[in-house]
Structure 1
Amino acid sequence: MLKNEKDIIESIQKDEWMMSLLNAVKSADLRDGWICAGFVRSKIWDTLHGFNERTPLPDIDVIYFDDKNIGEDEEKEIENNLIIMYPGIPWSVKNEARMHLRNSVEPYSSSCDAVRKFPETATALGVKLDSRNNVILLAPHGVEDVINLTVKPTPYFEADKERLAVYENRVRNKNWQLIWKQLKIFRVEI
């Protein structure tokens, strides 16, 4: 089973489908580029629940950080290039250097800073390949929550009442417990 970051990395390295998508993103040569959120989280939860088949993902979240070009057109171009390489994959590409505008928050300083400020600790994860094709795991809040099947807000979301409301809405709307029955969802009073 998955007990730590090393186990998570090994399970991803053994997953041909995940590695092929990571290679596609690596070939896009994105500045501070990562595949994040459900791509990583769902792999972990599927493994811990003993699923033989991958849970379908509504999208494959690719993030990068390029503060020199924050136009949405570049994101769409990268997305289209990934679709050409891997048709049928629901790519979603976002430049975190502009996402603060959409999220009405202070500017992010990097992709890691943006992931740190995702709503749930179990979703604040990213992966990429280094120059030797080793999987690098980004887990600014650690992996304990995702491995322990715990969903709770990140400190960034916990520190603000409006963001907590966003967390609560996401948890309610995602309804992850329908798929992953062993999850422990922390609800917050607003």
Structure 2
Amino acid sequence: MGQNPPYSPHLRYADQGEAAQKQALISIVSACPPLMTAFCQARDLDLPDWWIVSGAIYNQVWNHLTGRPTLYGVKDIDLFYFDPDTSYDAEDRMIQRAAKHFDTAVPVEVRNQARVHLWYKDHFGQDYDALTQSTDGIDNFASKTHAIGMRLNADETFTIYAPFGLNDVFGFRLVPHTKRDNRATHDTKAARQMALWPELTFIPWPEKTKGAR
């Protein structure tokens, strides 16, 4: 008879279904005072179509499930918003306004997703379609695992945007997203994260579908 694999407490929400994973995510975020401060202050700032996205969220999930300190490994909190005014000055005004507004444990990085296509090629060497809303930016992340955003509503509930679900987050898997040729970003981010959370499993970029949808 085969033996059952050893129980891994950090994987207790893996494969538990969407509803259970969303509830676990909300519970973990709600139990993190510095992260809740950021959500409350972001809600008060009330930028158009705002979301806190990516690392501060899934990193804290991994910290909670592995018993690591709050915000361990979190360099900053990414705040997306969408303003049709794509001028540099308009975004800079928002950034300066946010800098005076936030009082958080780590810096908050504010970026207008309506402007990404204007600077993306200079930074990454490839074209980037103009986005129509903040969640489009989440859809383009190099790892499906990282594609997550949350917003705190006026009634204290959360709205969650996770186009690829939460199972890879709770399964501690770094899964590439091949919509764009983002292999270098996937590899670089994975290397840093695996050094911090060795429980992670790295899924390499598929050679035959590099850059393919």
The answer, yes or no, to whether TM exceeds 0.5 is yes
Closer/same/farther in 2, CA of residues 30 and 149 from structure 1, 3 Å limit: same
Closer/same/farther in 2, CA of residues 29 and 53 from structure 1, 3 Å limit: closer
Residue 7 of structure 2 is matched in structure 1 by none
Q: CA deviation at 1:22?
A: 0.6
Closer/same/farther in 2, CA of residues 62 and 181 from structure 1, 3 Å limit: same
Secondary structure of residue in 2 paired with 1:122: helix
Residue 47 of structure 2 is matched in structure 1 by 30
- Cα shift readout 1:92-124 (whole Å, capped 9, x = no counterpart): 111111112222211112111110111111211
Given that residues 30 and 64 in structure 1 are in contact (C-alpha distance below 8 angstroms), is that contact kept between their aligned partners in structure 2? Answer: yes
Residue 37 of structure 2 is matched in structure 1 by 20
Residue 182 of structure 2 is matched in structure 1 by 163
Residue 85 of structure 1 is matched in structure 2 by 101
Residue 148 of structure 2 is matched in structure 1 by 125
Counting only pairs closer than 5 Å after superposition, residues 162-181 of structure 1 correspond to structure 2 as: 162-172=181-191, 175-181=192-198
Given that residues 22 and 128 in structure 1 are in contact (C-alpha distance below 8 angstroms), is that contact kept between their aligned partners in structure 2? Answer: yes
Cα distance in 2 for residues equivalent to 1:87 and 1:18: 11
Secondary structure of residue in 1 paired with 2:145: coil
Given that residues 56 and 71 in structure 2 are in contact (C-alpha distance below 8 angstroms), is that contact kept between their aligned partners in structure 1? Answer: no
Secondary structure of residue in 1 paired with 2:151: strand
Closer/same/farther in 2, CA of residues 28 and 74 from structure 1, 3 Å limit: farther
Task: Supply the AA of the counterpart residue of 1:179.
Answer: L
% identical equivalent positions: 23
Aligned pair partner of 1:185 in 202, 205, 212: 202
| Number of residue pairs aligned between Structure 1 and Structure 2 | 183
Secondary structure of residue in 2 paired with 1:40: helix
Given that residues 113 and 137 in structure 2 are in contact (C-alpha distance below 8 angstroms), is that contact kept between their aligned partners in structure 1? Answer: yes
Q: CA deviation at 1:171?
A: 2.9
Q: CA deviation at 1:7?
A: 0.9
Q: Please tell me the root mean square deviation across aligned C-alpha atoms, in Å.
A: 2.0
Residue 39 of structure 1 is matched in structure 2 by 56
Secondary structure of residue in 2 paired with 1:75: helix
Given that residues 76 and 93 in structure 1 are in contact (C-alpha distance below 8 angstroms), is that contact kept between their aligned partners in structure 2? Answer: no
Secondary structure of residue in 2 paired with 1:156: coil
Task: Supply the AA of the counterpart residue of 2:135.
Answer: C
Q: CA deviation at 1:91?
A: 1.7
Range moving further from structure 2, 8-17 or 79-88: 79-88
1:49 aligns with 2:66: yes
Given that residues 24 and 82 in structure 1 are in contact (C-alpha distance below 8 angstroms), is that contact kept between their aligned partners in structure 2? Answer: no
Counting only pairs closer than 5 Å after superposition, residues 67-78 of structure 1 correspond to structure 2 as: 67=84, 69-78=85-94
| TM-score (norm: length of structure 2) | 0.78
Cα distance in 2 for residues equivalent to 1:21 and 1:129: 10
Structure showing greater Rg: 2
| TM-score (norm: length of structure 1) | 0.86
Range moving further from structure 2, 22-31 or 141-150: 22-31
- In structure 1, list runs of 5 or more residues that go unmatched: none
Closer/same/farther in 2, CA of residues 171 and 177 from structure 1, 3 Å limit: closer
